[in-house]
Amino acid sequence: MATRREFLHQVLWGVLALGASSSLLVAASGEETYVVKRGDTLSEIARRHGVSVRSLKQRNRLRSDLIKVGQRLVIPSATSSTGAALAPVIAATRNIRVDTNRWRYIVAHHSAVEDGNARTYGAEHTRRGYEHGLAYHFVIGNGRDSGDGQIEIGPRWVKQLRGGHVRSQEVNNTGIGICLVGNLQNHPPTTKQLQSFIQLVDWLRDGQVSSRNKFTVHRWVDRNHTVCPGRHFPYTAMKKRYG
């Protein structure tokens, strides 16, 4: 016997078979169905709808990035496909013209203090004379002054501005800085922080940055000048995941 979800999908496909004219139709469970138009690419469709290429391919059982005009793609829910913490980032980025080719580095940091959030760090960086205030593009909270695992979006991402988070001007010009709140010299990031960090980096690498991107950390960029992001950052796991 068909489940309610399967029944709703059967109804949806029945409507599509009758020739619905709109290229974007509401599907079951908050999903949408998009009809491919001339000039579309899978990566652009994913970007416009705030989902990853990977989740789009998995949802539609695609083995390659090849799509055809008139093909109907189910757009997975951003929240279900990437996690609730990332959903606000995806929503905000829909209104941003991301300079994809510019961003070639993703750089991990820790704050080295247990308190704070994007607002307080931005105020401190402004006081220190940092151009554009908050040095990072994203800050991930630890539950003290922002939510545990909450991803805060900095003005540098919204305005697509260079970072101010490392000494290397090349990496500042082309690198996205992500700061985990907390002193990771003393303890690991929280479980939710690490989950949000991985979700954010995966999403950035899946269509928001150059295909030639490189994942790195502050101490690898500015060697002999810092221990950031601390000895308890999961270097081995991240290097294995991102190369």
CATH number (3.30.70.100, 3.20.20.140, 3.30.70.1350, 3.10.350.10) of 4-82 reads 3.10.350.10
- Residue 9 pLDDT exceeds 50: no
Between β-strands 175-180 and 105-110, what pairing exists: parallel, antiparallel or unpaired?
parallel
Average pLDDT value over all residues in the chain: 85
Give SS3 for 65: coil
**Region(s) of the chain under CATH 3.10.350.10:** 4-82
pLDDT in tens, 66-102: 999 999 999 876 555 457 889 899 989 989 999 999 9
Q: In whole angstroms, give the CA distance from residue 171 to residue 168.
A: 5
87-242 has which CATH code?
Answer: 3.40.80.10
Residue 229, preceding bond cis, omega within 30 degrees? yes
Backbone angles phi, psi at 48, to 5 degrees: -65, -30
Which one-letter amino acid corresponds to residue 141? G
pTM (2 d.p.):
0.72
**Region(s) of the chain under CATH 3.40.80.10:** 87-242
Helices (H), the chain: 4-17, 42-49, 53-59, 78-82, 87-93, 118-127, 155-158, 169-174, 191-203, 218-221, 235-242
Q: Which residue has the higher pLDDT, 189 or 22?
A: 189
